[in-house]
Amino acid sequence: MAEHEESRCENCIIRELNSLKALKKEELKAISDSKVSRSIKKGEALFKEGEKLGGVYCVRNGVSKLSKISDNGKDQIVKIASKGEVLGQRSMISEEGTNLSAVALNDMEVCFIPKDQITGRIQDNPAFTQAILKHMAHELKIADDFIVNMAQKTVNQRLAEVLLYLSTTFGTDEEGYLVLILSRADIADVVGTATELCIRTLAKFKKQGLIETKGKRIKILDQSGLEKLKDGFQ
């Protein structure tokens, strides 16, 4: 029985967003034959830190948080991954367990691609390897910037930055509210602070006319105000 056209990797537009676009038709066909589609419900984990993965996950739909629990038991969200992102790639290449946990922030659809399909292509398709390398180099730059932000900026600045990031990355709806809705606790885990302080700071932003809230939904009212704040001009 033939699968639907759009469920085949060769026809999947998602791959234009990641390193898989460097693969040839035949290679994609082989991957498509061995891949497994999976639905992940909001709140479910794709994998947990330390786990040995048998392959990578290509995100077709939905959003996932990648986090790690520090020695003091607090969770830190390191990245928010959505459509096109390939999860588990890094740990597969360095041949370790995953360093991060991946939990769905809303309902997701992912394709699981077995390990040997990826490692095989890294062995025999230099263009693919180079694409991953370039992507990883970029990720490393982002990580370095993140380190500097966490180390040197205040919660105020970091929260302002996160709100702007959510706006530019995931966009806003017709009413101007951020499309990606996170719990206050999750926002705090991205910012790297306690939930209470996150809530208080949001309330302060609201009082200052920078944002507006409606339940857990957030609307940015003064983008340039937030940008100034993030750069330290308070």
200 binds, among DNA, its own copies, none (CB under 5 to 8 A by kind): DNA
Phi, psi angle pair for 172, to nearest 5°: -125, 160
**Which contacts qualify for 153-157: CB closer than 8 Å, 24 or more apart?**
153/230, 153/232, 155/191, 155/192, 155/193, 155/197, 155/198, 155/201, 156/201, 156/204, 156/229, 156/234, 157/229, 157/230, 157/231, 157/232
CA gap 98, 6 in Å, rounded = 30
**C-alpha count within 13 angstroms, C-beta hemisphere, residue 52:** 2
39 binds, among its own copies, DNA, none (CB under 5 to 8 A by kind): none
- Minimum gap (Å) between residue 212 Cβ and DNA: 11
- Minimum gap (Å) between residue 157 Cβ and its own copies: 8
Which of 162, 193, 205, 211 binds DNA (CB under 7 A)? It is 193
90 binds, among DNA, its own copies, none (CB under 5 to 8 A by kind): its own copies
141 binds, among DNA, its own copies, none (CB under 5 to 8 A by kind): its own copies
Q: Given the rule CB under 8 A, which of 54-62, 110-118, 152-160, 210-218 is the region that contacts its own copies?
A: 152-160
Question: What are the beta bridge partners of residue 56?
Answer: 113
Classify 47 as helix, strand or coil.
strand
CA gap 232, 188 in Å, rounded = 19
156 binds, among its own copies, DNA, none (CB under 5 to 8 A by kind): DNA
Which of 4, 148, 175, 215 binds DNA (CB under 7 A)? It is 215
Closest residue by Cα to residue 82 from 105, 101, 98: 105
CA gap 187, 77 in Å, rounded = 9
Q: Where are the alpha helices (DSSP H) in the chain?
A: 25-34, 89-93, 115-124, 126-152, 155-170, 184-191, 195-207, 223-230
Q: Given the rule CB under 8 A, which of 40-48, 85-93, 168-176, 209-217 is the region that contacts its own copies?
A: 85-93
String of contacts with its own copies for each residue 173-212, x by CB under 8 A: -------------------x--------------------
30 counts as binding DNA under rule CB under 7 A: no
Is 8 or 115 the residue whose CB approaches its own copies more closely? 115
Binding site for DNA (CB under 7 A): 154-156, 183-185, 192-197, 199-200, 202-203, 213, 215-216
Binding site for its own copies (CB under 8 A): 68, 70-74, 76, 78, 90-91, 93-96, 99-100, 122-123, 126, 129-130, 132-134, 136-141, 143-153, 157, 192, 230-232
